[in-house]
């Protein structure tokens, strides 16, 4: 009987659009029902949503959130460093320090929102184990 409650809720929740789901994931909210939190620790998602019961252990975000965070931080830092370096406003040592610390800080700050968005988009597009049809096929005995 404990499994019947989440399934009843599953049908009542309207599926969000890809953008809404990604924004919810970026805010550390469940992409399905907007309940908080999506992450138990910095980058470890909760096993199940406390509100809707969605299983978040099925995601396979792997390294993609890190690529996104590095890509964005590089594009934010590059114009600043190019402008400061071309005008010789700061010595090269200070510029290198700003570049390293800025890249580390921006990447660390953007890593959890990027992972939340990737998990949300995987859920929305029914990738990996989020497709109910693929889970039924995998659970059949051989």
Full-prediction pTM beyond 0.85? Answer: no
Q: What is the pLDDT of residues 80-117, one digit of tens each?
A: 888 888 888 888 898 899 999 999 999 999 999 999 99
140 has a pLDDT exceeding 80: no
Q: How far apart are CA 138 and CA 142, in angstroms?
A: 10
**Contact between residue 61 and residue 119 where contact means Cβ atoms under 8 Å apart:** yes
**CB atoms closer than 10 angstroms to residue 131:** 14
Render pLDDT for 3-18 as a digit per residue (tens, 0 to 9).
544 444 445 678 889 9
């Amino acid at each position: 009987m404990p499994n019947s409650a989440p399934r009843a809720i599953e049908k009542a929740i309207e599926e969000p659009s890809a953008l809404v789901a990604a924004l919810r994931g970026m805010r550390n909210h469940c992409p399905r029902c907007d309940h908080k939190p999506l992450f138990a620790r910095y980058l470890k998602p909760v096993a199940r949503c406390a509100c809707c019961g969605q299983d978040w252990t099925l995601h396979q975000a792997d390294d993609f959130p890190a690529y996104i965070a590095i890509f964005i931080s590089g594009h934010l830092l590059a114009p600043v460093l190019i402008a400061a370096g071309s005008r010789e406003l700061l010595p090269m040592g200070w510029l290198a320090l700003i570049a390293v610390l800025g890249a580390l800080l921006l990447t660390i700050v953007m890593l959890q929102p990027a992972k939340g968005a990737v998990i949300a988009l995987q859920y929305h597009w029914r990738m990996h184990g989020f497709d109910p049809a693929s889970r039924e096929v995998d659970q059949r005995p051989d």
